[in-house]
Chains A and B, each alone.
Chain A
Amino acid sequence: MSYAKRSRQEMAQRLAADIHDGAYVNLGIGLPTLVADHLPKDREIFLHSENGILGMGPAPAPGDIDTDLLNAGKQPVTLLPGGAFFHHADSFAMIRGGHLDICVLGAFQVSASGDIANWSTGEPDAIPAVGGAMDLAVGAKNIWVMMEHLTRKGESKIVARCTYPLTGVGVVKRVYTDLAVIDITANGLVAYDLVPGLGLDELQGVTGLPLNAAFSA
């Protein structure tokens, strides 16, 4: 059967629809930042940035850039009315202390037991850089990963065991891919919202791991 993968914008839209009214949310660098453009207009959602912002707004108009107002990706942003600034120790207390409802991270791999690898390819000559990824991975109440289902070579990024260096152990609760949404549960992987035309058997085939259907979805 033929099917179309979700575009990056469609993935962001699908994920954003699951963020509840009043949620405190951190969007990781890369793919997850797209989610900010799709937050449901009828909900108030607080975006957190590691470098010290709650209530982060969209990018400013070109003439309104303030070099003292950056996001964690070091891009210029704005502050919403009611937003706040704070120092790094407070910011990571919010993260590590479990005060964020949702953190969305990109990843190289996610394991069936919720391990995440997203900070290093492990190549010997790579410049290592971790930033706040390991703090976010252990800290937020819900770690959601947003990533393409397959590598460019067609290998599943959802794996039995991560082969890349780990960022966090057993922390990921849900993965949004360009093929489906997959919950990582104590009873295994539960797949739902598959793209139209894609069957569970075929998804299981490309993933290479047992997938359960969600009956309530």
Chain B
Amino acid sequence: MIDKIQGSLAAALAGVQDGSTVMVGGFGDAGLPNELVDALIVQGARDLVVVNNNAGQGESGVAALLASGHVRKIICSFPRNVDSQVFDELYRSGKLELELVPQGTLVERIRAAGAGIGAFYTPTAFGTELAKGKETRRINGRDYVLEHPLYADYALIKAEAADRWGNLVYRKTARNFGPVMATAAKCAIAQVHRTVALGELDPEAIVTPGIFVARVVKVPRVPAAAIAAGRQ
């Protein structure tokens, strides 16, 4: 019997090696797999490359992972935030490498990796600092920049519900990077609020089919008030 549902966060993260590239879903607090990120700090893998849209807010989640010193490099589109003090200090002191990627290019590079695309041309960033040194090409009168896929060893994502085959549905804007990152990682790990029996998820509504998901772990929903308190 195939059962991707793990008994604990530690089991879900078993085997993460030093030097791994780890994608982390989420945009703002929505869709951030905070419990998996906390467990990754405990798991202890070092020299990590982290891919996330942001670079942590406050002192928990991705910010805590950066503060742990386990991360060598972050690939993201928008590290700066009013409460991105952990990133800001590590970046300014040269302890953390940053690869800044436009948001749409970031997600398309992830999509390309998951879809088996060798590289692609995008009009985004043509003529800007972020295209410096990159191959460009004019196609049908428009200028494009060559971009390459972004692969990961692990993707940590948050979904609403899963079954034991790893089929996933999401909730509202917590979906964001999750479905795309799941396709690009050798091992996608989803934390979910509910696990359901096979057949309970409407097949017309499954967003991430289980083929993209290696492991699932159930995590209780945190009340909104607790999230707000944690950010202060």
* Tally of contact residues, A, Cβ under 8 A: 41
Contact A53:B77 (CB < 8 A) given known A128-B100, A130-B103, A169-B126: no
* Tally of contact residues, B, Cβ under 8 A: 50
Q: How many A-B residue pairs have CB under 8 A?
A: 138
- Which residue of the partner chain, among B102, B111, B122, contacts A133 with CB atoms under 8 Å? B102
CA distance A88 to B53 in the complex (A): 10
Q: Are B102 and A68 in contact (CB under 8 A)?
A: no
CA distance A129 to B77 in the complex (A): 6
Residues of B near A51 (CB, < 8 A) are: 27-28, 30, 173, 176
Q: Secondary structure at chain A's binding surface: helix, strand, loop or mixed?
A: loop
Among B92, B122, B128, B173, find the residue whose CB has the most chain A CB atoms closer than 10 A. Answer: B173
How does the 8 Å CB contact mask read for B154-169 relative to A, with 1 for contact and 0 for none?
0000000000000000
Interface residue A82 (Cβ < 8 Å from any Cβ of B): no
Nearest CB on B from A56, distance (A): 10
CA distance A89 to B122 in the complex (A): 13
Q: Are B77 and A96 in contact (CB under 8 A)?
A: no
A109-128 contacts to B (CB < 8 Å) = 120, 125, 127-128
Residues of B near A3 (CB, < 8 A) are: none
Residues of B near A125 (CB, < 8 A) are: 92
Nearest CB on A from B44, distance (A): 28
- Which residue of the partner chain, among B29, B84, B127, contacts A169 with CB atoms under 8 Å? B127
CA distance A120 to B90 in the complex (A): 20
Residues of A near B77 (CB, < 8 A) are: 129-132
CA distance A190 to B29 in the complex (A): 43
* 4 closest cross-chain pairs (CB), A and B: A135-B104, A92-B104, A74-B28, A129-B80
